[in-house]
Amino acid sequence: MMWSVLGVLCATSLTAASTHSLHRPQERSVTTQGSLDTSGRLTKSSGLDETKWLQSRAQAEKLCAKLNATEKASIVTGSMTGLCIEYIAPVESIGFGGLCLQDGPAAIRLADLASVFPAGVTVAATWDKDMMYERGSALAQEFKGKGAHVALGPVAGPLGRTPWGGRNWEGFSPDPFLTGVAMDQTIRAIQSEGVQANAKHIIGNEQETQRKPTVVDGKRVEAYSANIDDRTLHELYLWPFADAVHAGVASVTCAYNRVNSTSACENEYILTDILKGELGFEGYVVSDFFASFSGIEAANAGLDMNQPGPISATDLTESLWGSNLVSAIANGSLSEARLDDMVRRILTPYLYLGQDKDYPSIDPSSQSLFLENFGLLQPGMPTPVGRDVRGNHSRLIRSIGAAGTVLLKNTNNTLPLKNPNNIGVFGNDAPDVSTGLIFPDNGFEIGTVVIGGGSGSGHNSFIVPPLDAIKDRARRTGSTVQYITNNTALAAGITGIYPWPDICLVFLKGWATEGMDLVSLEADYNSTLVVENVASICPKKTVVITHSAGPNTMPWASNPNVVAILAAHYPGEESGNSIVDVLYGDVNPSGRLPYTIANNETDYGVSILNVTGSLAEDSSAWNVNFTEGQFIDYRHFDANEIAPLYEFGFGLSYTTFELASNMSVSKVASSSISPYPAHVNSSLALGGNPNLWKTLVTCSSSVKNTGSVRGAAVVQLYVSLPQDNVPVGTPIRVLRGFEKVPLQPGETKRVSFSLTRRDLSYWDIVAQDWKIPSGEIGVSLGFSSRDLPYKSSVKIL
């Protein structure tokens, strides 16, 4: 009853508010348990059960055969009736209960009593495959508990071409291998809970500026075109999507931007030839929110589901799909076979994951939060309380938040803190937020940032601010905590502190949101002045902690009075507890940078394209040419011999580690290996030719904790293809393996890596295939991209 009342309210309000453009916020501006193995860890899903998938596909075909064209069209066209961010209405005659698709990658956003998890960049910084998996499972339990069939995440695009990208934090890392592993773990985990994962956004969505078409003075200006060459596409941006398909991902979202001048959601080459052809994707492609700008062309190009359904935010009554698909079949511009394929692709994962049986109903809170999201929630409207799906996830969130914190500097072992009597806490990132728990798109001045803005944000049910957690901790030992949380005041000079603190903790933040790129890589709100002023009253005792979306420049890093630096990323709702665990040494920091921190922001080489002035109204000016090829982040710094402030893969610990010198590298098969993978016929080839995924080389070594406290080493493996035998444009070295190894003091453990054919190949643009070069392939092991003490090589051809 409540449902239908709200449904009417919503429909009315939406129509009445047609001048109020309908889009995601940035532009306005039951829990199931994963099975536990004997050690208590979640047993990881080994991926797709191919036999079961093929059975589900056959069942989907049978159901499709029972539908008329109108019903088929309704399964592929979003409906505004569901009050999920995106919705497909049920078709009762075949027992199809509809699909509720919800944002997003770090939380079920339109829900109350749900958790806000650490962002993608934070989990990438853990370099911990188990944590990636556990976060995916816990997230999926919450989506399912709230009745959402599809979780709109994880994110592999943006990958992070430039550090100014406004949404990079939603994804993992500018390194495709690290992102690929995180995609794989997250997707297997989500789907093992019976929820469909969605890999987004394919492809080239590397900046927010002009990501969508705009209308200026009545003239349409196209979205930017990401012009990506074939090799860069394969070796960089497509790589983690191949992992996603390989993991059995149910759906993929196509991006707003154009790719080589054609809109991503109507790009036949990307959707049909590459994704469904080369990568063997069997699920469905769904448009980003209002990202399908054409009707039948998009369907013919390979788009399978149009969301949210209507033409645009200002015309909610008409759809380019729906009944138009039926007439398109009648007039021959769309084949019924293509519509059947779309339906089959949508129904298969639904059946495969058992979502046709006893799936929880859509949570009542998403209805009113849907209205709130669009600014339509009026005082007095019902705000029903939903089901609490948080379980004990806050414990996991706290530990991922700590594990994703990277210790960058620690002069004279300032950290962990040694029970200081008098603690100074500074900065507007330390206290609780003062403007509400749903973060506004433009950020906010007072309060800690635990997650960014837009569709990748979350609806916090509580936040543990650093200041509160530090006060709680200090109270145990009777320590004093003094604080100033107004950055304007701090920038003007420090007053009101007595006596001088034993240690000064400065909390800085960097806001990032969908819809806007960063304008500076320095932390916000006069951060440099704030650090310098605090350091002047706290010489050799100042510790800086950043909560930001990715790399910050740190002009204060070499200030001798700044003795420790922690990059704590976007840690989720337990932020304060996570950082206290690290500051006091309850958790030994084991995060490593999933990106490069430069000395100077000009060092990154690649910036966003921002056309201004009269040219901005010329669509042809919005060509983002990916001419740097694969040379982004550390690949660019390495190729150009630029010294970073802190390199990719770097991070300190409260202990020390040593790798053994007896590293071994060996070929798995002794028989001869061909340069190109043999082609095989199989009914499913998820992620492309199965031979690409076969291990050809193994590598192992031993790592020892040589310090006095327990901690985890992150052993990293980089591959160097022989520069003489590969085309120009090949990076000097690329990450191709990592293992996080927990160690007691004095303990040694063996660590091993498997390198697949894909790991050892480059994309041959002439042969249109992956090729292993002849000659010695270098394999290096170490603790960061620039700390690689052991090098070996292997010759395959």
Ligand X SMILES: *[C@@H]1O[C@H](CO)[C@@H](O)[C@H](O)[C@H]1NC(C)=O
Amino acid present at 27: E
- Indicate the burial class of 483 (C-beta count within 10 angstroms; 0-12, 13-18, 19 or more): buried
What phi, psi does 547 have (nearest 5°)? -115, 95
| Pair of tokens at residue 717 | 């493996």
* Site map 167..206 versus ligand X, x via CB under 6 A: ----------------------------------------
How many Cβ atoms from other residues are within 10 Å of residue 358's Cβ? 7
Rounded to an integer, what distance in angstroms lies between the CA atom of residue 83 and that of residue 102?
10
Interface segment toward ligand X; rule CB under 6 A; list 16-24, 68-76, 470-478, 737-745: 68-76
Residue with structure tokens 């200002």? 314
- The distance of closest approach from Cβ of residue 379 to ligand X in the complex, given in angstroms and rounded to an integer, is 26
81, 625, 666, 682: which one contacts ligand X (CB under 6 A)?
A: 625
Interface with ligand X (CB under 6 A), residue total 53
- Say which DSSP state 274 is in: I
600 part of the interface to ligand X, by CB under 6 A: yes
What lies within 8 Å, CB to CB, of 380 at 6+ separation is: none
557 part of the interface to ligand X, by CB under 6 A: no
Asked if 457 contacts 451 with a C-beta cutoff of 8 angstroms, the reply is yes
371 vs 549 by CB, closer to ligand X: 549
Nearest to 453 by CA among 469, 468, 464, 437: 437
Interface segment toward ligand X; rule CB under 6 A; list 75-83, 320-328, 375-383, 501-509: 320-328
Which letter, b or e, does each residue of 675-702 get, where b requires 16 or more Cβ atoms within 10 Å of its Cβ?
ebbeeeeeeebbbbbbbbbeebbebbbb
- The distance of closest approach from Cβ of residue 254 to ligand X in the complex, given in angstroms and rounded to an integer, is 13
Rounded to an integer, what distance in angstroms lies between the CA atom of residue 785 and that of residue 635?
10
Report 486-525 residues binding ligand X (CB under 6 A).
486-489, 491-492, 517, 519, 525
- The distance of closest approach from Cβ of residue 489 to ligand X in the complex, given in angstroms and rounded to an integer, is 4
Nearest to 64 by CA among 467, 339, 265: 339
Rounded to an integer, what distance in angstroms lies between the CA atom of residue 48 and that of residue 610?
42
| Pair of tokens at residue 436 | 């509400």
How many Cβ atoms from other residues are within 10 Å of residue 161's Cβ? 28
182 vs 563 by CB, closer to ligand X: 563
Catalytic residue among 112, 175, 243, 288: 288
Asked if 195 contacts 151 with a C-beta cutoff of 8 angstroms, the reply is yes
- The distance of closest approach from Cβ of residue 746 to ligand X in the complex, given in angstroms and rounded to an integer, is 12
Rounded to an integer, what distance in angstroms lies between the CA atom of residue 153 and that of residue 252?
9
555 vs 675 by CB, closer to ligand X: 555
Interface segment toward ligand X; rule CB under 6 A; list 43-51, 65-73, 180-188, 570-578: 65-73
- The distance of closest approach from Cβ of residue 680 to ligand X in the complex, given in angstroms and rounded to an integer, is 6
70 vs 312 by CB, closer to ligand X: 70
Interface segment toward ligand X; rule CB under 6 A; list 366-374, 460-468, 673-681, 726-734: 673-681
- For 316: left if phi > 0, alpha if psi spans -120 to 50, otherwise beta; the answer is alpha
- The distance of closest approach from Cβ of residue 16 to ligand X in the complex, given in angstroms and rounded to an integer, is 28
- The distance of closest approach from Cβ of residue 508 to ligand X in the complex, given in angstroms and rounded to an integer, is 12
574 part of the interface to ligand X, by CB under 6 A: no
| Pair of tokens at residue 554 | 């740190």
Asked if 739 contacts 648 with a C-beta cutoff of 8 angstroms, the reply is no
83 vs 203 by CB, closer to ligand X: 203
- The distance of closest approach from Cβ of residue 224 to ligand X in the complex, given in angstroms and rounded to an integer, is 9
What lies within 8 Å, CB to CB, of 672 at 6+ separation is: none
- The distance of closest approach from Cβ of residue 339 to ligand X in the complex, given in angstroms and rounded to an integer, is 12
- The distance of closest approach from Cβ of residue 392 to ligand X in the complex, given in angstroms and rounded to an integer, is 4
29 part of the interface to ligand X, by CB under 6 A: no
Interface segment toward ligand X; rule CB under 6 A; list 286-294, 374-382, 496-504, 609-617: 609-617
12, 18, 29, 70: which one contacts ligand X (CB under 6 A)?
A: 70
What phi, psi does 738 have (nearest 5°)? -155, 150
| Pair of tokens at residue 162 | 């430039």
295 vs 401 by CB, closer to ligand X: 295
| Pair of tokens at residue 133 | 């998996």
38 part of the interface to ligand X, by CB under 6 A: no
* Site map 258..297 versus ligand X, x via CB under 6 A: -xx--------x-------------------------xx-
396 part of the interface to ligand X, by CB under 6 A: yes
Asked if 194 contacts 354 with a C-beta cutoff of 8 angstroms, the reply is yes
Catalytic residue list contains 288? yes
Using DSSP, state whether 323 is helix, strand or coil. Answer: helix
698 part of the interface to ligand X, by CB under 6 A: no
355 vs 487 by CB, closer to ligand X: 487
The vertex-213 CA angle with 209 and 217, nearest 5°, equals: 105
| Pair of tokens at residue 734 | 């690329």
What lies within 8 Å, CB to CB, of 418 at 6+ separation is: none
46 part of the interface to ligand X, by CB under 6 A: no
Rounded to an integer, what distance in angstroms lies between the CA atom of residue 218 and that of residue 275?
35
491 vs 709 by CB, closer to ligand X: 491
94 vs 381 by CB, closer to ligand X: 94
CA atoms within 13 A on the CB side of 55: 9
Asked if 120 contacts 167 with a C-beta cutoff of 8 angstroms, the reply is no
Interface segment toward ligand X; rule CB under 6 A; list 66-74, 94-102, 454-462, 725-733: 66-74
What lies within 8 Å, CB to CB, of 162 at 6+ separation is: 206, 207, 604, 606, 607, 608, 632
363 vs 524 by CB, closer to ligand X: 524
* Site map 204..243 versus ligand X, x via CB under 6 A: -----x------------------xxx--x----------
108 vs 751 by CB, closer to ligand X: 751
Asked if 616 contacts 449 with a C-beta cutoff of 8 angstroms, the reply is no
> Hey, CA dihedral for 392, 397, 398, 403, is it positive or negative?
positive
- The distance of closest approach from Cβ of residue 323 to ligand X in the complex, given in angstroms and rounded to an integer, is 8
110 vs 518 by CB, closer to ligand X: 518
Catalytic residues: 288
Interacting residues toward ligand X by CB under 6 A: 68, 70-71, 93, 209, 228-230, 233, 259-260, 269, 295-296, 324, 327-328, 331, 333, 392, 395-396, 411-412, 486-489, 491-492, 517, 519, 525-526, 540, 555, 560, 563, 600, 602, 608-610, 612, 623, 625, 660, 662, 679-681, 702, 748
